[in-house]
Amino acid sequence: MAQLWGGRFTKKTDQEVYDFNASITFDQRMAMQDIRGSLAHVKMLGKVGILTQEETGRIEKGLASIREDLISGALVISEEYEDIHSFVEAVLTERIGEAGKKLHTGRSRNDQVALDMKLYIRDALRQTDRLVHSLIDTLLDLTQKNMDTVMPGFTHLQKAQPVTLAHHLGAYTEMFLRDRSRLHDMYRRMNLCPLGAGALAGTTYPLDREYSAALLGFDGATRNSMDSVSDRDYLIEFLSDLSMIMMHLSRFCEEIILWNSNEYRFIELDDAYSTGSSIMPQKKNPDIAELVRGKTGRVYGALMQLLTTMKGLPLAYNKDMQEDKEFSFDAVDTACDCLKLFEGMLSTTVFNKERMEESAKKGFTNATDAADYLVRAGVPFRDAHGIVGRLVLTCIERGIALDDLPLEEYQKESSAFGSDIYDAISMKTCVSTRNTKGAPGPQALEEMLAQQKSEMEKLDKEEGFA
């Protein structure tokens, strides 16, 4: 039992109470952030003259040595302490003596923990952004390589109209670009420093909060000390952003699982990203995609947990808030692992292009185009719809595609059909003539790709991420 308080107590804390209350087993993750925050605090205390230059120098040196030793492994965090803040302060005092006891001047663990967590999440946010960035790069590369890979587009999981793989992948690029922009968005809102808010009501010391905020790379200091120590909105936003990323990954995984199935055979997953069965020798399972899909629930769980924890809390700090950490750390680890593994899986996947195009043909995805052909010849669309519907029925009975139906059969249904129908409904034509903005045609796709690339560049240049 090693704690920072006890003066007003006459009895020792019960051991089980102590253990229940302690957070060192999980908040030790923020050791580097805690030291970084303390270094800024002490520098500020020195600047405004609350500590002497000599004291400031000693504390800075002591903190730097703790950081080095933690990194090298020479110093191991002792779980005897209540939390990471107590541990760092105790080791500091052990190393530099009396001056160490002055570190906490004008500070409370409430603003300290709010700061540590913000620094941690800001790092995690940038790491997440880099991983989404890298996944988008892979997607852009695959898009470029598959501009004319025809595949069926689906609605209701029924083959609908032909698209290209580039178009399909481009849809995911849009989702992940929005995810990046959401992360950048929340960064701007969260990047204010709570240090100096004290327990809840600021302090009587003449702290220079803007100075310590600037030292820590914040855009400024927070405006209200009560809000500063009890705000966890940014964390909820981050968990919501992670949930959205996971939802996008999960939808993609669902498609990969389908495409990899014996029925679809659109793709072949790399051996390195598949697993076998202990009993069925023929199996090659898409476990990674399934796990990413499954772990999505875990990240949503973290979001729900924190929303629920926060909903009844009066101002300002309450110990409930200590529960903001474990699930959040888990969500960060989970989402980052999923992003990495998903990208590895996607970049090694082989797309079975012939099979995709064949599937588009067999699924009558060009039926709308056959009807549009008649419309161009003057047949009203509703009549054209009926004519092509009957032709599709004939094809189904014979087990062939519209492309393989003899011209006489076409002409039995409508004299408007000529021999150019085959070209009009070829997969290449169906796709290449769809060039409205956002459509799968080549001009439209080029435009999409160029805009996606420039959006990436814009995001890369944004402050805090460059």
Residues of this chain that bind ligand ARG (CB under 6 A): 23, 27, 83, 109-110, 113, 317, 319, 321-322
State the nearest-atom distance from the C-beta of 317 to ligand ARG, in Å.
6
Q: Which of 23, 108, 184, 277 is catalytic?
A: 277
State the nearest-atom distance from the C-beta of 24 to ligand ARG, in Å.
8
Q: Which of 78, 86, 108, 156 is catalytic?
A: 156
Q: Would you give the DSSP letter of residue 266?
A: -
156 given a catalytic annotation: yes
Both structure tokens of 169: 């992948």
What is d(CA 222, CA 241) in angstroms, rounded to the nearest whole number? 23
Conformation bin of residue 156: beta by default, left when phi > 0, alpha when psi is -120 to 50: left
Backbone angles phi, psi at 81, to 5 degrees: -80, 155
277 given a catalytic annotation: yes
Contact call for residues 268 and 199 (beta carbons, < 8 A) = no
State the nearest-atom distance from the C-beta of 28 to ligand ARG, in Å.
11
What is d(CA 310, CA 237) in angstroms, rounded to the nearest whole number? 13
State the nearest-atom distance from the C-beta of 320 to ligand ARG, in Å.
9
Q: Which is nearer to ligand ARG, 21 or 138 (by Cβ)?
A: 21
State the nearest-atom distance from the C-beta of 238 to ligand ARG, in Å.
17
The b-or-e profile of 384-418 (16+ CB within 10 A means b, else e) is bbebbeebbeebeeeeebbbebeeebbeebbebbe
Q: Which is nearer to ligand ARG, 86 or 349 (by Cβ)?
A: 86
Backbone angles phi, psi at 229, to 5 degrees: -85, -15
Q: Which is nearer to ligand ARG, 79 or 463 (by Cβ)?
A: 79
Q: Which is nearer to ligand ARG, 78 or 277 (by Cβ)?
A: 78
Residue 373 Cα distances to 361, 376, 428, angstroms: 17, 5, 15
| Catalytically active residues, by annotation | 156, 277
